[in-house]
Amino acid sequence: MARLNSADELEALRRQQIELAKRIKEVEVKTRQKEKADNERREQLAGRAVLAYLATNPHSDIAKAIVGILETGIVKPADRALFFGAPAKPAATATRPGNGEAIADRLPPSERTGAVVGVHSDAERFGGQPSE
């Protein structure tokens, strides 16, 4: 077998380097895609668990806090429509999470029902049934 001269050997190593760089990028892309899919799945599972809790415990303090977090954290009109059917109020009206009265103030009058003002109708909207 003939030994490659320095120039040929250098060229072969550069080709290998280019090939390895391509393979590294492919693996990095696959890794990022897997991480993204895993994160999305975690978010879906957590969301389902929270929504199930809201549906079964609509009047709990935790439900009030969750609804408060959703009320203040979801501000894009299209996203709010999925949960509340209305666009966000200006930031000046936002209050700290868990404040049932402030949440109720932002709901349409037809939805201000239940023992904890605002939480009852939100629990229904999240898949729960009215209690009482």
Per-residue pLDDT of the chain (132 residues; tens, 9 = 90+): 556 689 999 999 999 999 999 999 999 999 999 999 999 999 999 999 999 999 999 999 999 999 999 989 998 988 988 888 866 555 544 444 444 444 445 555 554 444 333 444 444 555 554 444
- Joined tokens for residue 100: 């049932």
Identify the pLDDT of residue 62.
Answer: 94
Identify the pLDDT of residue 132.
Answer: 42
Instruction: Give the separation between CA 44 and CA 119, rounded to whole angstroms.
Output: 22
Whether 2 is covered by a domain: the verdict is: no
Q: Which residues contact 112 (CB under 8 A, 6 or more apart)?
A: 104, 118, 121
Q: What is the pTM of this model?
A: 0.52
Whether 29 is covered by a domain: the verdict is: yes
Whether 1 is covered by a domain: the verdict is: no
Identify the pLDDT of residue 52.
Answer: 93
CA 81 to chain CA centroid, Å, is 15
Whether 92 is covered by a domain: the verdict is: yes
Residue (of 124, 123, 93, 96) closest to 106 by Cα position: 93
Whether 5 is covered by a domain: the verdict is: no
Whether 113 is covered by a domain: the verdict is: yes
Query: How many domains in the chain?
Result: 1
Whether 90 is covered by a domain: the verdict is: yes
Q: Which residues contact 52 (CB under 8 A, 6 or more apart)?
A: 127
Residue range of the domain that includes 50: 11-125
Identify the pLDDT of residue 88.
Answer: 52
Tell me the HSE value of 17 on the side-chain side, using a 13 A CA sphere.
6
β strands within the chain, DSSP E:
none
Whether 132 is covered by a domain: the verdict is: no
Identify the pLDDT of residue 27.
Answer: 98
